Amino acid sequence: MLLYLRLLKESFAFAVNALRNNKLRTFLSLLGVTIGIFSIIAVLAAVDSLDHKIKKELSSLDKNTIYLFNDSFGPSDIPAWKREQFPNVTYAEYEFLKDNLDDAEEMSYQIFLSPENMKFEDKTVTSVNVVPVTNSFIDIQGFEFTDGRFFNESESNSGAAVAVIGADLAEGLFGDFNPIGKQARLYGQRFTIVGVLKKKGDGMFGNDDSSAIIPVNFIRRALGENKYQTPIIIVKPKKGIDMQAFKAELSMKLRNYRGMKVDEEDNFFINVFSGFTDLIDGIISMMNLGGWIIAGFSLLVGGFGVANIMFVSVKERTNLIGIQKSLGAKNRMILFQFLFEAVILCLFGGLVGIGLVWGLTFILTSALDFEFILSFSNIVLGSVLAITIGVVSGILPAISAAKLDPVEAIRSGM
């Protein structure tokens, strides 16, 4: 054991000496390893950060939540031209399903609209994300408040001009003043602010901080329901129910309400939230695969570079190898000496690449409203990859060194 520790120490000294004496050659050789490790770990860190943010945002939602509307979350066998002819879900259908689906814990109706401007006195905030929903939306979405409340059932049903606003919108309109009870103009009407949401930061699916949540019946009364709007029925089933049976019941009741014939295919989509998360996981996996393919070329070039420098190192130290073998050094000792040297060189290049990723994540996290994460598992992965490259690229030069004849090796150095 002590022999191998001493061998490792000598190999490390040889590697450091190679770095010191042949700086440019070593730098160019290890550049490929550094870039390769940097590329793969940077991609994995970015994808992990994206995955972490998405899952954090969606953690408050039940995976069994259903989004019922005229389109699909993912790929569909129904052609696009046919899906475009599907009717929108209506408020009347929402009320019917709410009264007739016993296993539905909560249900909400939402309309997606274009951004609008919102005004208070002389201040105007543009591109406000208007979210018209029923009052039960809060029981599905799970908002947190810094002040005030969500609008109640009476305000929702009557379409009262009340609004719950995000933190950024509240700051942009009211500054340091308390917005609760104040009125801001939207769609030419004065809306009373009843609640302010807790700040969340930019999200992958919209920014609640710049949103104004209002009763959907206000929009239905003021703008009507037309083809340019995208309505959706959100259904949160009770826990522990049979999801397949629930979806079948939901489909049957909506088909009956629409008076569809038995041989007609559904003109709506029952999108389960878990299917959406599976779609995201698939995209994340594809991004990871793309990162591995891109980084693979750099790692391949880096491996050839290290193999080249090791062959040169064997050539330069042929005389020394002959002397070592003539003094009793075994072939495996010579092999491990050069193999350790290749691993140490690659590990050094890999650690530089990981260090660059760490620095980049620190800078981007500070500059952007997004948390980049360099996990311990990715650091370990980068180190293991560097060691693997060292073994693969150093094994042939190490074998060639171990097989040298001591007499010929000494003679070649004279």
Domain locations along the chain = 2-57+279-412, 87-267
Calculate the average pLDDT of the chain.
81
Residue 88 pLDDT greater than 70, yes or no? yes
| Residue 151 Rama label (left phi>0; alpha psi -120 to 50; beta) | beta
Q: How confident is the model at residue 77 (pLDDT cuts 50, 70, 90)?
A: confident
Q: Which long-range contacts (CB under 8 A, 24 or more apart) does 288-293 make?
A: 288/43, 288/44, 288/47, 290/43, 291/39, 291/40, 291/43, 291/44, 291/47, 292/40, 292/43
Residue 203 has a pLDDT of 57
Confidence (pLDDT) at 339: 81
Give per-residue pLDDT as tens, 195-252. 999 887 665 555 678 899 999 999 988 887 765 578 999 998 888 888 889 889 999 9
Confidence of residue 118 (pLDDT cuts 50, 70, 90): very high
Q: What value does the mean pLDDT take over residues 124-147? A: 88
d(CA 321, CA 331): 10
pLDDT-derived band of residue 164, with 50, 70 and 90 as boundaries?
very high
pTM: 0.64
Q: Confidence class of residue 410 from pLDDT cuts 50, 70 and 90?
A: confident
- Bridge partners of 147? 196
Q: Indicate if the pLDDT at residue 290 is higher than 80.
A: no
**What pLDDT, on the 0 to 100 scale, is given for residue 163?**
93
